């Protein structure tokens, strides 16, 4: 599996008939294309620039190059009028999403200077340098009729920060799509029996996100635990003390078990090259398995903070949502409704099990739990709140017809009292109020889990959905 960097294909378009007619036009347009490449390279360095495509032969060559060099997405920069027959072969051969950059070189033509020109041939050449909008309907028509999904950015090459912010969001969305397509998701254990909303069709996960799903046995984690040395355990305990705020009532024996399991988890992740994981296991009747699962939370929290998000209760859909959020750099902590505070108009959300400690407000506390509500087990758990400020919620929703959609909402993590029960727990406020948020969110039929990340990134998630062919619903 190729899991290298995202590769962006770039090409400009023109019409070779123009070059002998309008002196300097080709060179001018190539200069514009170089500017686009420079700006894209500042966002993401791996650009495959096929140059100015102005004939059918060059179109086929560009498409084959993009396919050969494994472009993940193509930016089509419309420099001037071009025949759609010189554009279609590029994207048909490349077979990846295409984003049309309809970028004018300036805000407007200098009409006074233009109309003062005495050479009408030069006037036409000057106009052609500004007519990027002209062929876009033709291209859109042909793409639509040939079944090619396309997206557009309309704006200016220079002095247009909103336009380039949009382009950057497309690049980030493409990078996350690439991450998901190359991700290895581990599934260890089994579903929480009777929790029907989290059951999912794994083949549909492949269909939308790509990647690979590895079904894991808890016994493999147990086997790795047996191999952990005393020195590795000691080193991991030191890391725990650096990273966590370990409460005084945490026993040394439980901390040592958690350290052993944490080292073993790292080996399990390395063995299968995992980029995310979903897990749940009762462990009843097998002491080794039970001890491994009861001591898993601290290690899974470290993994989640270091780019390998882990979802409890075998919530595969939410492991995908957490990976998306983490790939966007937003975090993505495992959450569900905890309670509604109508007095302060907030909803409390959190979960037992691992938290995304990299997006915690302050240092994450470690507390002992003597029983997990509704579950077998004991051990140590983490208590944290997501950083105060803007947040985005994401859920991967499986619909009745088998389709997957992305459900998202933007809100704020706000300070205030939380339930100090050894779980992740935060207070969230949403535009329109908590009643509106809850009713709107639930109306789309998500599972009861979601991923919460920092920042408002719904616009990026919407672009990711377009690249993946998934509907995106934003409730606030």
pLDDT (tens place) for every residue of the chain, 476 residues total: 345 799 999 999 999 999 999 999 999 999 999 999 999 999 999 999 999 999 999 999 999 999 999 999 999 999 999 999 999 999 999 999 999 999 999 999 999 999 999 999 999 999 999 999 999 999 999 999 999 999 999 999 999 999 999 999 999 999 999 999 999 999 999 998 899 999 999 999 999 999 999 999 999 999 999 999 999 999 999 999 999 999 999 999 999 999 999 999 999 999 999 999 999 998 777 889 988 998 999 999 999 999 999 999 999 999 999 999 999 999 999 999 999 999 999 999 998 878 899 999 999 999 887 665 444 556 798 988 999 999 999 999 999 999 999 999 999 999 998 888 778 889 999 999 999 999 999 999 999 999 999 999 999 999 999 999 999 999 99
Question: Is 79 within a domain?
Answer: yes
- Confidence (pTM): 0.94
C-alpha 54/C-alpha 26 separation (Å) is 10
Residues 6+ apart with CB under 8 A from 21: 121, 125
pLDDT score, position 352: 81
Do residues 362 and 378 share a domain? yes
Do residues 165 and 200 share a domain? no
Q: Which of 41, 66, 46 is nearest to 5 (CA)?
A: 46
Final residue belonging to a domain, choices 126, 151, 180: 180
Residues in the chain: 476
Question: Is 169 within a domain?
Answer: yes
Do residues 261 and 134 share a domain? no
Question: Is 1 within a domain?
Answer: no
Q: Which of 334, 330, 326, 331 is nearest to 351 (CA)?
A: 334
pLDDT digits (tens, 9 = 90+) for 137-193: 999 999 999 999 999 999 999 999 999 999 999 999 999 999 999 999 999 999 988
C-alpha 472/C-alpha 397 separation (Å) is 10
Final residue belonging to a domain, choices 121, 149, 180: 180
pLDDT score, position 1: 37
Question: Is 3 within a domain?
Answer: no
Question: Is 101 within a domain?
Answer: yes
Question: Is 283 within a domain?
Answer: yes
Cross-strand partners of 311? 278
Domain residues for 413? Answer: 183-474
Do residues 152 and 224 share a domain? no
**Overall domain count for the chain:** 2
pLDDT digits (tens, 9 = 90+) for 248-266: 999 999 999 999 999 999 9
CATH number at residue 286: 3.20.14
Residues 6+ apart with CB under 8 A from 214: 184, 185, 186, 187, 272, 274
pLDDT score, position 353: 75
Do residues 377 and 249 share a domain? yes
Write the CA distances from 308 to 188, 311, 445, integer angstroms: 14, 10, 27
Question: Is 2 within a domain?
Answer: no
CATH number at residue 131: 3.40.50.10940
Do residues 291 and 190 share a domain? yes
Do residues 254 and 159 share a domain? no
Do residues 87 and 190 share a domain? no
Do residues 105 and 231 share a domain? no
Question: Is 163 within a domain?
Answer: yes
Q: Which of 10, 3, 89 is nearest to 43 (CA)?
A: 10
C-alpha 446/C-alpha 251 separation (Å) is 38
Q: Which of 56, 54, 139 is nearest to 102 (CA)?
A: 139
pLDDT digits (tens, 9 = 90+) for 401-436: 999 999 999 999 999 988 887 788 899 999 999 999
Do residues 71 and 97 share a domain? yes
Do residues 150 and 188 share a domain? no
Residues 6+ apart with CB under 8 A from 39: 164, 167
C-alpha 207/C-alpha 185 separation (Å) is 14
Do residues 309 and 225 share a domain? yes
Final residue belonging to a domain, choices 151, 180, 209: 180
């Amino acid at each position: 599996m190729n899991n290298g960097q995202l590769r962006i294909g770039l090409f400009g378009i023109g019409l070779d008939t123009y070059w002998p007619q309008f002196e300097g036009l080709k060179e001018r347009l190539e200069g514009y294309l170089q500017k686009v490449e420079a700006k894209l390279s500042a966002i993401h360095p791996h650009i495959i620039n096929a140059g100015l495509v102005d004939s059918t032969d060059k179109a086929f060559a560009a498409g084959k190059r993009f396919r050969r060099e494994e472009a993940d997405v193509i930016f089509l920069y419309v420099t001037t009028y071009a025949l759609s027959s010189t554009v279609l072969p590029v994207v048909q051969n490349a077979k990846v999403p295409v984003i049309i950059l309809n970028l004018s070189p300036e805000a407007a033509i200098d009409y006074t200077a233009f109309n003062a020109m005495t050479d009408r041939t030069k006037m036409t050449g000057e106009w052609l340098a500004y007519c990027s909008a002209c062929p876009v309907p033709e291209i859109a028509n042909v793409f639509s009729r040939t079944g090619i999904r396309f997206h557009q950015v309309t704006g200016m090459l220079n002095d247009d920060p909103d336009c380039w912010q949009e382009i950057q969001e497309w690049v980030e969305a493409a990078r996350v799509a690439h991450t998901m397509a190359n991700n290895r998701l581990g599934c260890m254990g089994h579903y929480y029996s009777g929790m029907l909303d989290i059951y999912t069709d794994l083949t549909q996960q492949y269909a939308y996100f790509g990647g690979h799903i590895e079904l894991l046995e808890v016994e493999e984690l147990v086997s790795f635990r047996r191999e952990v040395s005393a020195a590795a355990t000691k080193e991991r305990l030191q890391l725990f003390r650096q990273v966590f705020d370990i409460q005084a009532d945490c026993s040394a024996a439980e901390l040592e078990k958690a350290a052993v399991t944490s080292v073993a988890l790292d080996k399990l992740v390395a063995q299968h090259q995992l980029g995310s994981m979903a897990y749940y296991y009762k462990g009843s009747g097998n002491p080794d398995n039970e001890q491994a699962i009861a001591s898993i939370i601290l290690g899974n929290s470290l993994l989640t903070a270091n780019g390998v998000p882990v979802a409890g209760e075998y919530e595969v859909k939410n492991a995908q949502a957490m990976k998306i959020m983490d790939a966007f750099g937003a975090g993505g902590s495992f959450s569900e409704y905890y309670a509604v505070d109508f007095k302060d108009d907030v909803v409390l959300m959190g979960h037992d099990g691992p938290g995304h400690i990299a997006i915690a407000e302050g240092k994450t506390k470690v507390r002992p739990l003597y029983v997990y509500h509704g579950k077998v087990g004991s051990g140590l758990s983490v208590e944290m709140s997501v950083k105060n400020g803007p947040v985005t919620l994401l859920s991967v929703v499986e619909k009745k017809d088998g389709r997957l959609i992305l459900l998202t909402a933007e809100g704020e993590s706000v300070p205030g009292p939380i339930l100090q029960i050894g779980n992740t727990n935060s207070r969230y406020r949403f535009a329109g109020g908590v009643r509106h948020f809850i009713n709107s969110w639930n109306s789309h039929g998500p599972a009861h889990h979601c991923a919460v990340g920092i920042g408002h990134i719904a616009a990026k998630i919407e672009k990711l959905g377009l690249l993946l062919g998934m509907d995106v619903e934003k409730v606030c």
